[in-house]
Amino acid sequence: MALLDVERVSMRFGGIVAVNEASLSVESGSITGLIGPNGAGKTTLFNVVTGLQPVASGRIRFRGRDVTHASPNSRAKAGMARTFQRLEAFGSLTVRENVLVASEIHAGVPSWFRRRSNGVDELLERVGLTRYAGQRADSVPTGVARLLELARALAIQPRLLLLDEPSSGLDETETGHFGALLREVAADGCAVLMVEHDMQLVMGVCEYIHVLEFGKVIARGDPAQIRSDRTVQVAYLGFGDTPDEHTLQLPPVGAT
Ligand SMILES: Nc1ncnc2c1ncn2[C@@H]1O[C@H](COP(=O)(O)OP(=O)(O)OP(=O)(O)O)[C@@H](O)[C@H]1O
């Protein structure tokens, strides 16, 4: 059984069908991509999976449990963490305090009652934030803020990490570093489901990819299958009918 199973889920905003009977699954310890054009329904699907928005129909199972109507909080407690497109850290707290708060919320105990900081410093070290630990979150560059979002999500020791456009605002080197970090996270047993527009990152780190268009999953497969899928090339990547057009624009699999 997969770690996450989304079965024929739909979600509407009035007359707009944002997610239309979409199904996808995420295996434990894997990195899975969710790609598609702007407005395809990716963020809405994340919101439905994490419980921020209700489903109109369909079923969501996480770790074998039906969580279709569970609260966001109980899904988080069961091991789901997510980041948002817009950076959400507490600006007036330091980088370290931000991670500490996330860790405390997860543990349910304020740190002054505990002797240890629940691995916060190790976590900062692991994602490369130690030198920024004492800086206010609103004073760090975007690349560092993205790592902070990742560290805050990891602080709840999730089984599944949902990342919404994590490389947004990162340069190529930072994106490469981020991709390497994601591989480590997955190797440690935390599955990653990632919405991302940077195809180099997606093709480089994802083992499996789902493609969404108009709320429907139009293709799924490993990076090589997605690269060569004609429907994806036309619908998402905007290629015409010239057979070789796409090969010039897509990065090779494993490029990151
Ligand atoms: N709060 C809302 N109210 C009404 N319509 C919405 C709302 N949020 C999203 N939509 C619509 O739902 C559809 C899916 O939007 P969504 O943001 O999920 O797409 P997306 O794939 O994440 O896009 P992007 O890549 O641009 O972030 C779009 O048609 C969008 O306009």
Residue the block writes with tokens 């057009």: 245
Pairing of strands 4-13, 57-62: antiparallel
Residue nearest to atom 11 of ligand 1 (CA): 18
| Model pLDDT, residue 115 | 47
The alpha carbon dihedral of 33, 38, 40, 44 has a sign of positive
Ligand 1 pocket at CB < 6 A: 13, 16, 18, 36, 38-44
Q: What is the structure's pLDDT at 244?
A: 43
Instruction: Report the amino acid identity of residue 244.
Output: D
Q: Are 179 and 127 in contact (CB under 8 A)?
A: no
Per-residue pLDDT of the chain (256 residues; tens, 9 = 90+): 899 999 999 999 998 999 999 999 999 999 999 999 889 999 999 999 999 999 999 999 999 999 999 999 999 989 999 988 777 788 889 999 999 988 877 665 554 444 455 688 999 999 999 999 999 999 999 889 999 999 999 998 899 999 999 998 888 999 999 999 999 999 999 999 999 999 999 999 999 999 999 999 999 999 999 988 988 887 766 654 444 443 334 554 444 5
Ligand 1: which of 9, 17, 34, 43 to mutate, most ligand atoms within 8 Å of CB? Answer: 43
Tell me which fold the domain 1-79+159-256 belongs to. Answer: Rossmann fold (3.40.50)
The pTM of the full predicted model, rounded to 2 decimals, is: 0.87
Residues 6 or more apart whose CB falls under 8 angstroms from that of 149 comprise 83, 84, 87, 88, 89, 166
> What is the reported pLDDT for 235?
72
Span from the CA of 1 to the centroid of ligand 1 (angstroms): 30
Residue 82 confidence (pLDDT): 92
Domain residue spans of the chain? 1-79+159-256, 88-157
What is the per-residue pLDDT for 90?
A: 87
State pLDDT tens for residues 143-168: 899 999 999 999 988 999 999 999 98
Q: Which tokens go with 73?
A: 């909080």
Sheet holding 208-213, edge to edge: 80-82, 160-164, 191-195, 31-35, 208-213, 216-221
pLDDT in the model for residue 248: 31
What is the per-residue pLDDT for 132?
A: 94
pLDDT of residue 247: 37
Residue nearest to atom 16 of ligand 1 (CA): 41
Name the pairing type of β-strands 208-213 and 216-221.
Answer: antiparallel
